[in-house]
A and B are shown apart, each in its own frame.
Chain A
Amino acid sequence: MKCIRCGHDSKYKERSNQTCPRCNGRFAFEPRQGAKLTDQAFQNAIDRVSGDGKLRWGAEHLYYEVARRLRPRAWFRTRNSQIGGAVVGAAGLFITYEMGLLFLVGYAIAGGGLAVHQYRRARAATIGLDRTAFSGMLIAWERAHGRPKGLIVRPEAPAQSRPRRVLESDLADYSFDRAVICDRAQTVDLLLANNFHFENNCAVLSVEGYPPGPFETVRTMLKRNPKLQVFALHDATVEGCRLARRLATDPTWFAGQVSVTDVGLRPGQAGPFQGLWLPSPVPNVMPENGIKPAEAAWLGKYSLKLAAIRPDQVLKRLFRAMNRKPEDDDDGDSGSGGGSGDGDGDDDVIEDHDSFSTDASADDGGADSFG
């Protein structure tokens, strides 16, 4: 196993006490003692989730990245399986030749059963990595290598650790062009820590009042812009899928003022993340308050966190959603195409099915606004 500090490749018996024999650096993981990943594999996951150290990210993003790496691949896609398949085929020919057709049938039934089991395992809907186990992995990593670069850690008591800046009195007199309202504070953290608000002149708040310091000031400022664009960004959960409707109808938010664009995630966007779904905490979901019958059926079984999408893609897909031109929504396909009403005759909620359904690149912004 290679040491990520010095690059030395050591054998198990050379690694006493989980340390590298050349540099004496500690390994976080020892696969020979049951660890699921090597240090190098965990580092690769950190590099991927952090955009090679250039982005801020949350522990939940790394959780999904590690889970992605531990997810069993479909058996027919692995090289070993392909070699194994060839061996099995050859064995089948040998059995037919030596023992007759009946033995071959039995052999085929046993092999087919094994293949189906493998396929089902690879196609498992819900995530296979236990969250507690992942937390243990991250603790082990930090013990060996320190806190990874870019990990978002919210200051526990910012007001006490340093004096809060006195803001100029006029700051609260203005407004924003856009607002992203999230269902969870961790999503707000991701956007703010990566300067999304600064890059896009955009307020970012959680529906439950995060961040508490500027929350009310910013929410009041939003109401000063009658042309405000509001984007709801959320997990594919019951509460998340009701977020846009709540924002559009709650008088403390935007009721009767502006429409709200729901960019996701909704069950219809969860397909590519099969294997990273979570079991639903709510078994019976009613198709109401912005949730359609088909969605209710899915939400009764599963949920999906936005954090399953890598941070760079969250930023790029959200940017794409914010810069869609109105004509992008006029493709006449309310199922898989652009925006549409939510099907309940509610014109204050627009669903953007596209922006969060596929990968986005820096080319997707078009003639982006300076605002």
Chain B
Amino acid sequence: MSGICGWVGRADRALLDAMLAAIEYRGDQTDTEVGEGAAIGYRWWGGRPGKSPGLHRDGSHVVTCAGTLAPPVPSPAARLLQRLGAGSYADDTLATLDGAFAAAWWDGEQERLTLLRDPFGVRSLYYTELDGVFYFASELKQLLVIPDLPVEPDPAALHKYLTFSFVPGEDVPIKGIRRLLPGHVAVWQAGRIETRPYFTLRESIDPALEEQSVAVRRVRERCQQAVADRLNGEQEVGLFLSGGIDSSGVAVWLKEAGVRPLAFSLDFGERSVEREQAAQVAAHLDLPLTFLPIQGPELITPFWDLVWKLDLPFGDPVTGPQYLLGQAARQAGLSAVFNGEGGDQLFGGWTNKPMIAAELYADLFGRDSREERYLESYHRFYGLEDALYTPEFAAIVGGPGQRRALLAPYLGEDAAAETFLNRVRLADVALKGSQSILPRAERLANAWALDLRVPLFDRALAETAFSLPPTLKLRGASEKHILKLALQKQLPSEIVWRRKFGMSVPITDWVLGPLAGLVGELLGPAALARRGLFREEYVGRLRRGEPEPGETRRRRLGEKLWALAMLEAWLRVFVDGRGRRPASVPA
């Protein structure tokens, strides 16, 4: 919830109102400060605990903060100014800063703007420069209201999207707009911007945690604290309960903190993977549970609102069901929801396993590098570019190696981890977690005026996770082993120790069934020819439901088709429509 925006330089005051109006679903209150050399705006929901009740003004300083700190404070903006200091600050002032926030601090005396984003990237922050004015905002659509800002898609960013199903790194798929990375601080002064990290996750194995009982106790305490730090005194909170170990664990720790959450779970009918487990956990913990049946057609009506609220293109098919889950939570009268995201990234979910298998056999046929295997593991279009891209698009996506370069800090020899497992974990945290799971979940909750709490992406908990011996994360083939040990007394044994089945959205059934008309309109021959990015021969095969030879998983076809459909929809709303709220289906 909440959002910020502003600029350094001279611009029309009315622009600040327009930038705040672009995110009116982020709050019913606004506050602005417009000075000679800068302007700052803030939108929030009044009466929500843990949120800054307006801009914080202190002499020549103006601070705005969207989001909350962990543990919560009455005014995050005031606390940030206190932590950062009145004129300068050292890194150690940010050493324990945690929460879900995006902040801006204007120092009028120094004529300096400081931007700050939370450690894991729950909240977003974008910036651009036009005619000597430096603009920033919580959402991309806010920057697109700047008059005369060229809105041109960035082919290199689209190229990355087509590999990951989200846009990683600092890139934004519109030329000239950048994103501040999670855990980073940016300073704009005298026409120059400097960015640097204030938080970097790195492996540092603690010998004391070699003792399993000590490690279990430490992890359990950190998890309990992480949940408690994200309770802002609400009477009632929601929980998105999948039936897996992570969200079930959050349910346990919420109960231990004295909160009985209202649980919500997805029901895909006969295609459900964990429906029975969610029901079992709710019954075991005595939680009220609402199942949300989704068969596909429910996504047609809200589709364009979903695309608009997501702000960036996200190709994971879970976004539609999550949007509807948020709607259900809001209709139940809630203003905050918890989820269990982060367990896989921190404690070693299933994605380690294919990477380990690939690594052990890597030299046999002398094929792909570790980085290439990691890119393949996203199962979108890496390696299929020749089949998918038109020659015109292929010619402008940029040189080779740009996607692999994103992985070097995590998978390469200079990675901040010595062990293979933690190297892959670091890549997953930085890419999948911080640049896909967290921002999209925040926007989907925010679409329904819900404040999102992601306790497992807690700074101290993450640091603990990377101080564990990796065999406590993956013990034999037992994933997230330490979490299972920490929860085995609180949850039924068959929930804790069963083989993992991920939440699999039956997207192939949907895109070839109830959503085929929508997909056909977005990716039919005429639409493809108009956009000029993709070959009709390849996309047509997907639309006809013809999988790749040797493809064993039916869901991959739907995942690919959905990723393409979401990109085309995003281009229509954000490039063709300059981010304006779509009134109806843009063609």
Contacts and interface: CB of A to CB of B under 8 A. Distances in A.
Interface stretch (A68-76, A112-120, A174-182): A174-182
A162 interface: yes
Contacts of A132: none
B477 A176 contact: yes
Given A197-B357, A367-B501, A51 B373 contact: no
Interface stretch (B310-318, B358-366, B396-404, B486-494): B358-366
Contacts of A194: 550
B261 interface: no
Contacts of A213: 363-364
B217 interface: no
Tell me what chain A mostly uses at the interface: helix, strand, loop, or mixed: loop
Contacts of B471: 170, 173-174
B557 interface: yes
B370 to A, nearest CB: 8
Chain A interface size, under 10 / 10 to 19 / 20 to 34 / 35 or more: 35 or more
Given A173-B470, A174-B474, A176-B477, A214 B361 contact: yes
Contacts of B550: 51, 54-55, 194, 311-312, 315-316
A192 B362 contact: no
Interface string A185-220: 000000011110111111110000001011001100
A158 B363 contact: yes
Interface string B345-360: 0000010111011111
Contact of B418 (A154, A164, A168, A203): A168
Contacts of B148: none
A109 to B, nearest CB: 49
A224 interface: yes
A165 B362 CA distance: 9
B549 interface: yes
Contacts of B418: 168
Interface string A358-371: 00001101011111
A202 B357 contact: yes
Nearest to A196: B552
B419 A169 contact: yes
Given A54-B548, A55-B550, A368-B555, A224 B365 contact: no
B363 A367 contact: no
A201 to B, nearest CB: 4
Most buried by A among B363, B548, B552: B552
B254 interface: no
B525 interface: no
A95 B84 CA distance: 111
Interface string A235-250: 0000000000000000
B544 interface: no
A171 interface: yes
A52 B547 CA distance: 12
A199 B376 CA distance: 10
B476 A319 contact: no
Interface in B434-477: 470-471, 474, 476-477
Interface string A151-172: 0101100110110110111110
A52 B549 contact: yes
B326 to A, nearest CB: 24
Contacts of A167: 359-360, 420
Contact of A54 (B354, B419, B500, B549): B549
B554 interface: yes
Contacts of B551: 362
A227 B499 contact: yes
Contacts of B500: 369-371
Given A51-B550, A316-B550, A362-B554, A201 B499 contact: no
Interface string B29-45: 00000000000000000
A178 to B, nearest CB: 9
A211 B364 contact: yes
A211 B361 contact: yes
A227 B477 CA distance: 9
A50 B501 CA distance: 31
A122 interface: no
21 contacts: A54-B549, A152-B365, A155-B366, A159-B363, A161-B366, A169-B419, A170-B470, A170-B471, A174-B356, A177-B353, A193-B365, A199-B552, A200-B552, A201-B350, A211-B361, A213-B364, A225-B478, A227-B499, A316-B550, A319-B552, A371-B477
6 A-B pairs closest in CB distance: A51-B549, A370-B502, A319-B552, A168-B420, A201-B353, A224-B476
Interface of A: 50-52, 54-55, 152, 154-155, 158-159, 161-162, 164-165, 167-171, 173-177, 192-195, 197-204, 211, 213-214, 217-218, 224-228, 311-312, 315-316, 319, 362-363, 365, 367-371
Given A218-B360, A369-B501, A371-B353, 10 more contacts: A50-B549, A51-B548, A51-B549, A154-B365, A158-B366, A171-B360, A174-B471, A175-B477, A227-B477, A368-B555
